[in-house]
Amino acid sequence: MKRLIDMVISLMALACLGPLLLLVALAVLATMGQPVLFRQTRLGLGGREFGMYKFRSMVNNAAAIGPYFTQDHDPRITRVGRFIRKTSIDELPQLINVLKGDMSLVGPRPDVPVQRGLYSDADWAQRCSVRPGITGLAQVVLRSEGSFARRLALDLQYTRETSPWLDLKIMVCTLKRLSGHGAN
């Protein structure tokens, strides 16, 4: 049932957001050139690798210039990139990942392969027992703040308590946060 809901909502969102996606693609193309989309290897259900899509927000070759994570005032992030990151518009191409079955709308955020070493085997297995999501419990509670331990605790809590109602609550909180009305 969750997979069907993911597919229907993703298709509807892509259809409704089509004009915005086109405008962002043109802005990225005009200010940064090609490629418009950034594809990064992430780990998903069962720890399997997949290519996660985002609008490109950084200069070309950003991975060769700095670490896999970004910091405040990262010089690799462009002006357009700062805006689409701040508004989370850069994440919208992940709706394609949801349609492909790599991701869900709600679940723990997918990690890059180098992050696998941060987890115990048991925590990793539990975290990878569900599809990763565009948004999740850790995102609505912490956004980008919070320690690794706190984010992991929320991800594991999600895997233990996953339900359609929890997913709905997380999606509503995400929409509130994106609209500037807070997470609760």
Task: For residue 107, give the DSSP letter.
Answer: S
Task: For residue 46, give the DSSP letter.
Answer: G
User: What mean pLDDT is predicted for residues 39-52?
Assistant: 96
Contact of 154 with 138, CB cutoff 8 Å: yes
Assessment of whether the complete model's pTM goes beyond 0.75: yes
- Write down the pLDDT at residue 183: 43
Q: Which residue has the higher pLDDT, 142 or 103?
A: 103
- Provide CB contacts within 8 A for 43, sequence distance 6+: 49, 50, 110, 111, 112, 113, 115, 116, 128, 132
- The least confident of 67-71, 87-91, 121-125 is 67-71
Contact of 50 with 37, CB cutoff 8 Å: no
User: What mean pLDDT is predicted for residues 89-111?
Assistant: 96
- Write down the pLDDT at residue 73: 73
The residue assigned the tokens 């690798």 is 49
SS3 109: coil
The domain limits of the chain are 2-178
Task: For residue 68, give the DSSP letter.
Answer: S
67 pLDDT higher than 70: no
- Write down the pLDDT at residue 68: 61
- Write down the pLDDT at residue 184: 42
